[in-house]
Structure 1
Amino acid sequence: MRVFIGVRLPEVIKEQLVAIQGEVKRASLKGSFTDPDNFHLTIRFIGEMNPEQQSAIEAALTYCTADQVSFLIEPDGLGYFFKKNKWIIWLGIKENNHLHHLYEQLNAALLKGKMILAKEVAFIPHLTLGRGIVLSQEWETLSKVPLPFDQKIPVTALTLFESVRLNGKLVYRPIADFPFNSQASHSASNNQ
């Protein structure tokens, strides 16, 4: 199973991301846009996980969230990665010491548990709006579009997600939630 660790987003945040995504769609000839149910903040991509590795990942998550305090993150404008003449467009997150510390602590805990992880790339916190996008206008024009985003985003837990295809549709399915200031993990189905 293909997994990653991330942060779930409140519905009000997802609604604002849909509005921002609409601006990107209007500036695009084509692309694959993130389903609103899949909006999340990735903290660490793991890759393929077998059932034996799940307990090590959950132990690392329990350790990292046990003494963690909730905090807020703020959006920071549109950004992109450019691959094979196509764009991955996202909403960036302002520099946040709590978020970077959590990322570092999680990486250390996973490595201590001898987890074989996907290749690590630079941690650039972002909320993906779409992939494989072909723009119909210059990036500079799109990047100046005013964003209807006025809320800070609460980070109160980490979630272990599974990435699956169901009926041809990509779905990021929560496996388990790990609330901050809690010693025990809780089944994702109990927290939806």
Structure 2
Amino acid sequence: MRVFIAIEFEQHIKDYLNKIQKQVMSYSTDGNFSRPENFHLTLKFIGEVQPSFLGSITAAMAQSVHGIKPFKLRLHNLGNFPRGNKMIIWMGVGGELDVLNLLFNQLETSLGSIGIAKDTRGYSPHITLGREVRLAVPFSKVASAVAIDHQQQIIEVHKISLMESKREEGRLMYIPLHRQPLAD
């Protein structure tokens, strides 16, 4: 099984991200764009595991949320990771980033205790809108043309989710396997 830990979004956030994604697509000549139902904020990509290991992961998730109360993030800005003549286009997040980073660090520690390697690159929170995107104009033009409502698009974080990534009928699906509430 291929798994990762993420923050899932309410439908209104997915709908808003889809609206932004469509604007980006209008400036694109090519790309592999995320399906709106798959929008999420990855906390930790784990990769391939045996189903028998899932209990250890969910126990580590429970340990990682100790002392973390629900918090709020907001959609922030468009960004990109260049990949040759293509790029990954993403939406950044703002808000209570100190709490998000604490959650990430505690998750890294608890997963590390069960043998999952820590991320050496550090945490760069982003929501992938499209991969292998080719733009018809410079990215800076797209970023300035796409207006993002920073104040209205609030992501309320009450839980973290263990997700399975798999293909069904050729379509990439992210299926929640376990949802771990934050401490109240």
Same fold (TM over 0.5): yes
Query: Contact between 2:76 and 2:148, CA under 8 Å: does it hold in 1?
Result: no
* Further displaced range: 3-12 or 150-159: 150-159
1:139 and 2:139 aligned: yes
Query: Is the alpha carbon distance of 1:158 and 1:176 closer, same or farther for their aligned partners in structure 2, counting shifts above 3 Å?
Result: same
Structure 1 match to 2:10: 10
Query: Is the alpha carbon distance of 1:44 and 1:65 closer, same or farther for their aligned partners in structure 2, counting shifts above 3 Å?
Result: same
* Further displaced range: 74-83 or 173-182: 173-182
Query: Contact between 1:47 and 1:118, CA under 8 Å: does it hold in 2?
Result: no
Structure 2 match to 1:35: 35
CA distance, structure 1, for counterparts of residue 118 and residue 31 of structure 2:
26
Identity of paired residues, percent?
Answer: 34
Matching of residues 22-171 of structure 1 within 5 Å: 22-94=22-94, 96-115=97-116, 117=117, 120-145=120-145, 146-148=147-149, 150-171=152-173
Structure 2 counterpart of 1:131, one-letter code: R
Query: Is the alpha carbon distance of 1:61 and 1:158 closer, same or farther for their aligned partners in structure 2, counting shifts above 3 Å?
Result: same
* Further displaced range: 26-35 or 49-58: 49-58
Q: Which whole-Å deviations, capped at 9, do the CAs of 1:72-102 have from their partners, x for residues lacking one?
A: 0122210011113211100001261000000
Give 1:160 deviation, angstroms: 0.2
**3-state DSSP class of the match of 2:101?**
helix
CA distance, structure 2, for counterparts of residue 59 and residue 36 of structure 1:
29
1:177 and 2:179 aligned: yes
**Unpaired runs of 5+ in structure 2?**
none
Structure 1 counterpart of 2:56, one-letter code: A
Question: How many matched pairs?
Answer: 181
- TM-score of the superposed pair, with normalisation by structure 2: 0.93
**3-state DSSP class of the match of 2:65?**
helix
CA-atom RMSD, angstroms?
Answer: 1.6
* Further displaced range: 33-42 or 49-58: 49-58
CA distance, structure 2, for counterparts of residue 147 and residue 67 of structure 1:
32
Query: Contact between 2:159 and 2:182, CA under 8 Å: does it hold in 1?
Result: yes
CA distance, structure 1, for counterparts of residue 121 and residue 174 of structure 2:
21
**Unpaired runs of 5+ in structure 1?**
183-192
